[in-house]
Amino acid sequence: MILDYTFKDRNLLVEALAHPSIRNIKNVSYQRLEFLGDAILNSIIAEMLFKYFIHDNEGSLSKKHVQLVCSDTLYEIALELQIAPFIIMEQHARNNRNNYSQNVLENVLEALIAAIYLDSSFPRIKKFIHTHWSSRLYDLSLAPADPKNTLQEIVQNEHKVLPKYILLSQTGKDHKPVFTTQVEVPNQEPVIASGPSKKISDKNAAILMIKQIQNENEVNKD
């Protein structure tokens, strides 16, 4: 697990990683910490956006906030931190791939945020969140808020049809899957992208297709 943080109180780390399946044995799970972590994350992300996007109005900031704290973003960061193998759960639960689901991983990430905060300080957890979310601030400036919807609007306006998404493969382990998607639209070369879920791989493919269309339009202008 790549947290770049050493816990003084190991019990907080154990609680943050404790799946509800062991509650009957140890009377502990990540769910209370998840509640606190969600509030901390929302507060710090709001401040980051307020300071970075100084010309944005409330509505624009709210849309960006939703993107940075949404399920897909938390899932991507949880995978980057390699949290899944360290989740503490009963053996029968470990054999159920649903216990490595997107929802579980994002819940554990929020619990870890709370645990680091309680074990250290607000400035320390602020540093942690800045480290893992800052690069995504720049992505907000470059990519459309909803790439699949944006691509759909472009294709429907031009061709009166919908983009076609094809799942090419699903590989990797249960706790670290890789989905690969191809998207096809008329008069364009198909593009392929991957992600830790089908939803994210579709989104990444849509972003690439939008860029391809935009690049072609720029060339045609010249």
- Angle CA(59)–CA(64)–CA(65) in degrees, nearest 5? 95
What are the binding residues for Mg(2+)?
Answer: 34, 107, 110
Residue 176's contacts (CB-CB under 8 Å, 6 or more residues apart) are 79, 82, 84, 196
CA atoms of 106 and 70, how far apart (whole Å): 9
Dihedral sign, Cα of residue 85, residue 86, residue 87, residue 88: positive
Question: The whole model's pTM is what?
Answer: 0.75
Residue 93 confidence (pLDDT) above 90: no
Measured distance CA(211)–CA(192) in Å, rounded: 13
pLDDT of residue 143: 64
pLDDT band at 24 (very low <50, low <70, confident <90, very high): low
State residue 12's pLDDT score: 96
Give all domains of the chain, ordered by start, each with its CATH number: 10-141 (1.10.1520.10), 147-221 (3.30.160.20)
Please write the tens of the pLDDT for every residue from 110-159: 999 999 999 999 999 999 999 999 988 877 766 666 889 999 999 999 99
Which sequence positions are flagged as catalytic? 38, 110
